[in-house]
Amino acid sequence: MLIVLVVFAGSTVVARADGPVLPKRMVYEPSKPIPPGYHIEHRTRYGLVISGLVLFGLTYIPTAAAAWYDSRDGTPLYVVPILGPLLAIPAKTKGDCPDPNNPDVPCVEFDELIAAFFIADAIVQATGAIMAWRDFVGRDLLIRTEAAQATLVPGPVGSTGYGAWLTGRF
């Protein structure tokens, strides 16, 4: 009996066929057949969902706060997500100088800068929203079906005995 335990002490019995090691997961393409030993799983990419929501929130919250603050001048359009900054461009880039004919009053116009800021704000909001939505929808992956494994190793049995342990993963 001792000889049998010594022979099997470090050996591993694997219940699968020997062959090339296939990747653990692959992107599922519906036009191709599912390879043997794989199954389809739907996965949501939560890291990118959270990143997209943070990106959207970091640009939308200040824009919505500006809409509340500027509501008295008739441009509360910022509060509309993504399109709000684009809709507010005409109202914010009117070119209001106090008196264009008076050289004593300086007139500095930032119309191009304001328009560029609103366009960039809309682009970043849209990027965050698309990133969160697209990755929340997720994708289908082909996951390799793991074969059952069994291992026989020496180990303690009881308080004073010594024997073998059969462990497995199914």
Could you tell me if 130 and 153 lie in one domain? no
- Rounded to two decimals, the pTM is 0.61
pLDDT level of residue 18 (50, 70, 90 thresholds): low
pLDDT tens for each residue of 107-136: 656 678 888 888 999 999 999 999 999 888
Is 97 a member of any domain?
A: no
Could you tell me if 146 and 86 lie in one domain? no
With 60 as the cut, is the pLDDT of residue 33 above it? yes
**Alpha-carbon dihedral 145, 148, 154, 157, rounded to 10 degrees:** 110
Could you tell me if 81 and 63 lie in one domain? yes
Using a 10 angstrom Cβ sphere, with 0-12 exposed, 13-18 middle and 19 or more buried, the burial of residue 114 is middle
Tokens for 68?
């509340």
Distance, in Å, from the CA atom of 159 to the CA atom of 75, rounded to the nearest integer, reads 80
Could you tell me if 52 and 73 lie in one domain? yes
Distance, in Å, from the CA atom of 60 to the CA atom of 78, rounded to the nearest integer, reads 9
Q: Which residues form the domain of 160?
A: 2-15+25-44+140-169
Could you tell me if 131 and 158 lie in one domain? no
Q: Residue 103 contacts by C-beta under 8 Å, 6 or more apart in sequence?
A: none
With 80 as the cut, is the pLDDT of residue 146 above it? no
Could you tell me if 7 and 52 lie in one domain? no
Per the prediction, the chain carries an average pLDDT of 78
Is 81 a member of any domain?
A: yes
Could you tell me if 29 and 86 lie in one domain? no
Is 144 a member of any domain?
A: yes
Could you tell me if 123 and 146 lie in one domain? no
Give the E-state strand segments of the chain in sequence order: 12-14, 25-27, 38-43, 139-144, 149-157, 161-169
Is 56 a member of any domain?
A: yes
Radius of gyration over alpha carbons of the chain, in Å? 32
Instruction: Quote the pLDDT of residue 130.
Output: 94
Could you tell me if 56 and 124 lie in one domain? yes
Is 146 a member of any domain?
A: yes
Is 73 a member of any domain?
A: yes
Sign of dihedral through CA atoms 9, 12, 15, 18? Answer: negative
Could you tell me if 120 and 86 lie in one domain? yes
Could you tell me if 39 and 77 lie in one domain? no
Give the C-alpha distances (Å, rounded to integers) separating 153 from 10, 13, 64, 162, 163. 6, 11, 64, 11, 9
pLDDT tens for each residue of 49-94: 999 999 999 999 988 888 877 766 656 777 889 998 888 887 777 7
**Looking at the 3D structure of the chain, how many domains does it have?**
2
Q: Which residue has the tokens 């049998």?
A: 4
Is 98 a member of any domain?
A: no
Is 103 a member of any domain?
A: no
Could you tell me if 11 and 77 lie in one domain? no
